[in-house]
Amino acid sequence: MNTLRLKGDKRLRDRLMVPDSYSHNHKLVSAPGGYRHRLDEAGRTDPGHPASLHEIYRGAIASGAEAVNIHSIYVASSWRNQYQPDIVKLLRSVGHSVYDFRNPSAGDTGLHWGELDPDWQEWNVAKYRHALWHPIAEDGFKSDMEALAEAEIIVLLLPSGRSAHVEAAWACGRGKPVIVHIPEPCEPELMYKLFNAITCDDVELLELLAQHTAQIGELSLGERVLKP
């Protein structure tokens, strides 16, 4: 995690940094400065209200905050998730280093089972097990696991499936902060209390990521149970 230390006044710094106080369910409250913006029904920023956190964050990096925390982030999600490309783009646009499993490197579009076998959807368990040792599968696994191991923070972006949840659980077990980002209503899941925080829109996510990695790691959705 890098911290950009730039010249800037306290007002801008206050608008960037997430306050220390949280409500009982750890939902972030508005920081000083009034930057939290209203959204219209389509989820767009209301032009009649203060700039979005995204705009403030970019402006701070360009010209003004005393400390802006820049993280290495692994976005764990699904190929079917329609939000994933925009979340990766958003996080990168404010300076974070983000692993994109759909495009892990130049010319690499990630693992597609169809590259191993056009009839992969007809596999039985034995064929699936054998396919895990295919060189293409091995390369895809190596790429994802290296990025997961190097990441400071994991964003579990819902809706997502088995792989993303295995990745988040592995990271949690290694002591890495895991943020569950839920941009649309979903079925409640009790065991998300193992993770550090839940965010429900892009503003909350960016607010949280404005903090130091250690501060995010101190949050816990299950602290009343897990801590004496």
Contact 215, 67 (CB under 8 A): no
Interatomic CA distance for residues 161 and 177, integer angstroms: 19
Indicate the pTM of the whole model. 0.70
Contact 192, 180 (CB under 8 A): yes
Count: domains in the chain: 1
Over residues 16-58, the pLDDT tens digits come to 333 333 332 333 323 322 223 333 333 344 443 334 555 555 5
Over residues 103-127, the pLDDT tens digits come to 777 666 668 888 888 998 999 999 9
Of 87, 90, 91, residue with least CA distance to 69: 91
Q: List the chain pLDDT tens, one digit each, 228 residues.
A: 544 333 333 333 343 333 333 332 333 323 322 223 333 333 344 443 334 555 555 555 554 444 557 899 999 999 889 999 999 999 998 889 999 888 777 666 668 888 888 998 999 999 999 999 999 899 999 999 999 999 999 999 999 999 999 999 999 999 999 999 999 999 999 999 999 999 999 888 988 898 888 889 988 887 655 444
Average of per-residue pLDDT values in the chain:
74
Q: Which domain holds residue 76?
A: 2-226
Interatomic CA distance for residues 65 and 67, integer angstroms: 5
CATH number, position 50: 3.40.50
pLDDT of residue 124: 95
Contact 123, 131 (CB under 8 A): yes
Q: Taking the mean position of all CA atoms in its chain, how far away is CA 56? A: 19
Contact 72, 150 (CB under 8 A): yes
